[in-house]
Structure 1
Amino acid sequence: MNKAIEILQKYWKHDAFREPQEAIITSVIDGKDTFALMPTGGGKSICFQVPAMMQDGICLVISPLIALMRDQVQNLQGKGIKAIALTGGIHQDEIIDLLDNCQFGNYKFLYLSPERLQNDWILERIKSLPINLIAIDEAHCVSQWGHDFRPAYLKIAQLKELFPKVPFLALTASATSRVKEDIITQLKLDNPQVFSKSFYRENIAYMVFETEDKLHLLQQILHKNSEPSIIYVTNRKSCSETVFQLENMGFKATFYHGGLSSKDKEKQMQLWMEEKVQVMVATNAFGMGIDKANVKTIIHLHLPQNLENYYQETGRAGRNGEKAFAILLNNPSDIFHAESQFISILPDKPFLNLVFSKLCSFLQIAYGEGIDEQFGFNLNQFCSKYNFPTLKTYNALQFLDRQGIITLSQEFSEKISLQFTIPSKEVIRYMSLNPNDEEIMLTILRTYPGIYDMQTAFNPILIAKKANTNEVAVVTLLQKLKEKQIVDLIARNNDAKITFNEVREDERTINRVSKYLEAQNKLKIEQLQAVLHYSKDDKTCKQKLLMQYFGETIKKDCGVCSYCISKNKKKSNPDDLSEKIIALLKIQDFNSRDIQKLTKFPKDDVIFALQNLLEKDTISIKSNNLYSLK
């Protein structure tokens, strides 16, 4: 392995491999099919990049993540390594030129999406390339039991027939035992070497806290741990709202989500990476390729969609090996919100049929036509025209994209982005002088609290509905504000591109893929149930619960999670606590939070003691939620 170490040192500036990278590389170099299950942060890309550099020829990398492909190609090119990615939106003539470069230009890596394998002429061109390794990233996508199944992945197995002597390397960061076996079967891996790095993270304390006041607990956590933190939320609006609340509490914070421009994403990222702010508030769009070693705390303000995502996101803490925290905050209403966020927006077959039919009408595609045609597309206009719920419709379009029926550009943002360029007091002054504009402007400010700080994705249809007016009135006002240099306005004609990959056949098309839709919907419900079980189970070590989900068994409790700490904590004496509460209330009236803070007893014990004292008629509670001695 001397050559492998030399390549690692020369291009990646590391002196040694992480476990089990070296064993995986050896397996690949020996020409064996290999399966690698490596949790996030384990260095999966090294496992195919190093062996590809050790041999003549080119490594074919199949990945569904366009942004990750671009990122890896840029990184390789920055190291002086020739790499190409065949991402969406590239014209056929350009693809031919790129493949010519691969064949005759001494390139080492060719990245492409699995959907590209559905083009017979691309397959023919790939056949003539000197392929030395085929790496399948995000390999769980090949399994119907995986959390992001894509039927196009099933086509990868045909590469076995084209390259019978070339080793396959299947890589994933999250897969249950069932998914692992399915990957091996679907990719037709030949007696593969299997490497599964344990999911156990001994330096991460997994905490679940139930609280009615998440912001108060958040404040305590961030004060106690002042190192870099990530707070995950489930939508873009929560990003800006949470940053606003954190800044009011004195924390430096910024946010990141898929609706930001590339420039703003880079700016926000650098603020956090350079520790000019402590907290990054983000949707799950944040995290890919992030390798910041000293992240101390990962906090989920809302229930995650599944434990696969949760594990990957929490795995961004403690990469320096020091103790770190993965904290999930929930309250009873979160279950309802999670079901409405993740389950009620799942499209069923009739809705999928309707969306596809209306999409064809919207884009004026005749029956039997449309293949390879590309269209500009605005999601809000489409949903408004047919009165479709936006998130459910977007999920239906994403499903059609994953099935390869259409290709939907993933750079989704609203049609307009907007930023106020004058101070808030000047905006208030303008409204007082222009009362006819006040209602729309107040609606904008309430809906987008971060609109003073940066260009903000803006939905005129939503604002029109909230302000009881029409879209024309909103857009007219924006133009007026732009002319007066009150706002910086960027308007786009479309927010996405849609390419049809096959002819329009309406129900025949949907009938073909509906079985996958039903299976995926069932899986998503099961996955959310697993999240609810993890959050509610107060009789099992949290690390054990995660390991069980991923098919691992650990005998000992971790000793550091919220369950283990509560189990090991000495039980407080109820009489002692009651006496302390009575002594405090002799001084003045207090609310439950202040009583907990002053007595330093656990929250549940304080609530129990207060209930007992109320039942005994020793104390009373006033209308302002203060407790008082009778």
Structure 2
Amino acid sequence: MQTALAILQKYWKYDQFRPLQNEIIDSVISGKDTLAILPTGGGKSVCFQVPAMMTEGICLVISPLVALMKDQVANLQARNIKAIALTGGIRSEEMIDLLDNCQFGNYKFLYLSPERLQSNWILDRIKNLPINLIAIDEAHCVSQWGHDFRPAYLKISDLKKHFQKVPFLALTATATPRVKEDIITETGLQNPSVFQKSFARENIAYIAIEAEDKLYTIGQILKKNPQPSIVYVRNRRSCIDMSGQLNTLGFKATYYHGGLSPKEKDKNMALWMQEEAQVIVATNAFGMGIDKANVKTVIHIQLPDNIENYYQESGRAGRNGEKAFAVIITSPSDILQAENQFLSNLPDKSFLNSVYIKLCNYFQIAYGEGFNEQFAFNMNHFCLKYNFPPLKTYNAIQFLDRQGIISLSQEFSEKISLQFLIPSKEVIRYISLNPNDEEIILTILRTYPGIYEMQTAFNLDFIAKKSNHKPAEVQAVLNKLKEKDVIEFHSKNNDTSILFNEIREDERTINKISKYLEKQNQLKKEQLQSIIHYIKENQTCKNRLILAYFGEKSDADCGVCSYCISKKKVTTNTKSLSDSILTLLQTEELTSREIQEKTQTDTNAVIEVLQYLLEQEQIAIKANNKYTIHH
């Protein structure tokens, strides 16, 4: 048998293992059940891929993320290792062929989602495979206290009955003590070896800043650290807006979100990876499998959903071991807004029931029918038809997906993207010559202000409703504008599809899963409070706050986070700062920001001294917000 290191060198071209990888592999090879908690970038996949290559047979990998499965299968195939994934949308006949390949075709890896284990015939086929290892990726999904609970994970323990001599390896990047216990119990691990790398990232400085002008603050950070950076935002619109604003300020920025075509994703990613763009502005769709070692700064400008996500996303900084920064910038209204928005978008049982019943009606599924039926799904049209709030509806549908009632094929994406090719003056001229089209065109321009600059995702049903026209009338105007080269528009058929995994039973279906809904809603509220506590708590080291959340104690402050820095700061000599400000204002009028830049002093100290000088009537503030000497 080849050694683990020889396999690593031969297929992965690495000379040595990362911390704990070798110990985890030894545990698995010796036949022990194992739990590995390795933070993002710790190299979890190597921990099951290497031991699987060392022994005869096939490794079964259970993972909830289709994109990650496809990515890992592609990576293994590129190394001439035979691997397949049974993802959604594969027909039964095709699946039988793939499972035959596993049995007779010398395959080394079979990836599947936990929902697949609920099909008895698939389970029967798996029982007959020469399985040498069962790897459970994203193992926190088995816990109701995990940040992405999926009941289908509870079925994994059934595999223990059929594979009593096969080692189980559960892997996750983040687990609180409560989740850790759940993973061991619910997956049926027996006397497992537990390997946990400390959650401390000594080279990352965790910074929390409150700022009225977030764009200005980001600019200051990027100027100071001109190395590769990631800015995380909550939605697709913010991605495009923020990258545009940063480009205007002279930074090279690109963006990444789930609605981009694979070609656009690859192009934008390459710009950033090759450092033709300093910044990539992204939603949390960005990150899986991203391994760029020299990211200097990760900035969040909106509240992350929970500490787990924040820890994973901020952990993309400083993988090379050099000093890096994880920054959250909030404005005073952010927390209140997040709480209000968050609570109003949590679906309760009756809302979930309404969405499910309307979903079945939408596709004309009769009671007792619908099993294994698949439909193309337009989220916007569905919400408009039944007057559902989009975000709350999305949360409800996502919950149905996690519970395995339905399967969503991909992220929601707009069907049409559109851009005006002629300047606004010409558009006005066109409207005057075609008055019947005026209402629709003006509605489009008011709704999508950036539509002259770029291809913009366009919601046809929404424009129809807003302009009091039928969708067909809006479509006719678009066709006419395209013919006359006024606009360019692309109709994309990459809309979501929904697969129904169970027959329709209305309340019975929902009653079965509603106990999980209450628990998940409660958990989400607690997680939001944890992230708010992390931001607002200014009497404790930020690194210690994160470690405590994951159940790890630290005896010393980190010395580099925003709290530790504020402690070190010697109070600015008020007298010398006020003298400097008065000297500057003798020659010109200045804003508070200009004063701060010229004196190179902390913003709060400048504001304090300006306040004092105003009260003493030594200076005055003008209507243009500039300070001047009081006359």
With the length of structure 1 as denominator, give the TM-score of the two structures. 0.96
- Quick one: distance in 2 between partners of 1:364 and 1:565? 61
Aligned to 1:147: 147
* Residue 536 of structure 2 corresponds to residue 536 of structure 1: yes
- Quick one: distance in 1 between partners of 2:442 and 2:599? 44
* Residue 48 of structure 2 corresponds to residue 51 of structure 1: no
Partners of 1:241 and 1:449 within 8 A in 2: no
Which segment drifts farther, 376-385 or 52-61? 376-385
Aligned to 1:460: 460
Cα distance change on mapping 1:626 and 1:204 into 2, 3 Å: same
* Residue 618 of structure 2 corresponds to residue 621 of structure 1: no
- Quick one: distance in 1 between partners of 2:137 and 2:150? 13
Aligned to 1:68: 68
1:405-420 aligned at under 5 Å gives the runs 405-420=405-420
Aligned to 2:593: 593
Partners of 2:588 and 2:628 within 8 A in 1: yes
Q: Secondary structure at the match of 2:3?
A: helix
Aligned to 1:288: 288
- Quick one: distance in 1 between partners of 2:216 and 2:361? 50
Partners of 1:258 and 1:411 within 8 A in 2: yes
Cα distance change on mapping 1:143 and 1:397 into 2, 3 Å: same
Aligned to 1:187: 187
Give deviations 1:274-293, integer Å, cap 9, x for gaps. Answer: 11111100000001110011
> How far does residue 559 in structure 1 lie from its aligned partner after superposition?
1.2
Cα distance change on mapping 1:604 and 1:466 into 2, 3 Å: farther
Partners of 1:82 and 1:107 within 8 A in 2: yes
1:208-227 aligned at under 5 Å gives the runs 208-227=208-227
Aligned to 1:402: 402
Which segment drifts farther, 51-60 or 552-561? 552-561
Which segment drifts farther, 13-22 or 610-619? 610-619
Q: Secondary structure at the match of 1:327?
A: strand
Aligned to 1:434: 431
Cα distance change on mapping 1:448 and 1:271 into 2, 3 Å: farther
Q: What amino acid does structure 2 have at the position aligned with 1:81?
A: I
- Quick one: distance in 2 between partners of 1:588 and 1:168? 71
Which segment drifts farther, 95-104 or 569-578? 569-578
* Residue 512 of structure 2 corresponds to residue 512 of structure 1: yes
- Quick one: distance in 1 between partners of 2:588 and 2:473? 55
% of aligned pairs identical?
67
Cα distance change on mapping 1:577 and 1:393 into 2, 3 Å: same
Cα distance change on mapping 1:68 and 1:96 into 2, 3 Å: same
Q: What amino acid does structure 2 have at the position aligned with 1:430?
A: V
- Quick one: distance in 2 between partners of 1:484 and 1:546? 58
- Quick one: distance in 2 between partners of 1:292 and 1:145? 31
* Residue 545 of structure 2 corresponds to residue 565 of structure 1: no
- Quick one: distance in 2 between partners of 1:442 and 1:560? 52
> How far does residue 457 in structure 1 lie from its aligned partner after superposition?
2.8
Partners of 2:541 and 2:564 within 8 A in 1: yes
> How far does residue 273 in structure 1 lie from its aligned partner after superposition?
1.0
Aligned to 2:132: 132
Aligned to 2:173: 173
Give deviations 1:311-336, integer Å, cap 9, x for gaps. Answer: 11111111111111111111111113
> How far does residue 2 in structure 1 lie from its aligned partner after superposition?
6.0
> How far does residue 439 in structure 1 lie from its aligned partner after superposition?
6.3
Q: Secondary structure at the match of 2:133?
A: strand
Partners of 1:415 and 1:493 within 8 A in 2: yes
Aligned to 1:77: 77
- Quick one: distance in 2 between partners of 1:328 and 1:146? 23
Aligned to 1:500: 500
Give deviations 1:347-404, integer Å, cap 9, x for gaps. Answer: 1111101111111111111111111111121111110011000111011001001101
Aligned to 1:316: 316
Aligned to 1:368: 368
Partners of 2:541 and 2:563 within 8 A in 1: yes
* RMSD (Å), alpha carbons: 1.9
Q: Secondary structure at the match of 1:539?
A: coil
Partners of 1:7 and 1:53 within 8 A in 2: yes
Give deviations 1:399-440, integer Å, cap 9, x for gaps. Answer: 0011011111223201223345x3x63x54233333445665
- Quick one: distance in 1 between partners of 2:439 and 2:195? 60
Aligned to 1:97: 97
- Quick one: distance in 1 between partners of 2:191 and 2:392? 42
> How far does residue 615 in structure 1 lie from its aligned partner after superposition?
3.3
Aligned to 1:29: 29
> How far does residue 340 in structure 1 lie from its aligned partner after superposition?
4.3
Q: What amino acid does structure 2 have at the position aligned with 1:138?
A: E
- Quick one: distance in 1 between partners of 2:545 and 2:359? 43
Cα distance change on mapping 1:551 and 1:450 into 2, 3 Å: farther
Give deviations 1:41-94, integer Å, cap 9, x for gaps. Answer: 000000000000000000000000000000000111111100010000000000
Which segment drifts farther, 362-371 or 77-86? 362-371
Cα distance change on mapping 1:446 and 1:293 into 2, 3 Å: farther
**How many equivalent residue pairs?**
627
Q: What amino acid does structure 2 have at the position aligned with 1:379?
A: M
1:309-388 aligned at under 5 Å gives the runs 309-388=309-388
> How far does residue 493 in structure 1 lie from its aligned partner after superposition?
6.1
- Structure 2: any 5+ residue segments left out of the alignment? none
- Quick one: distance in 2 between partners of 1:219 and 1:442? 35
- Quick one: distance in 1 between partners of 2:289 and 2:497? 26
> How far does residue 231 in structure 1 lie from its aligned partner after superposition?
0.5
Aligned to 1:9: 9
Cα distance change on mapping 1:278 and 1:623 into 2, 3 Å: same
Which segment drifts farther, 496-505 or 45-54? 496-505
Partners of 1:260 and 1:457 within 8 A in 2: no
Give deviations 1:557-588, integer Å, cap 9, x for gaps. Answer: 11111111111111112233233333333333
- Quick one: distance in 1 between partners of 2:293 and 2:450? 29
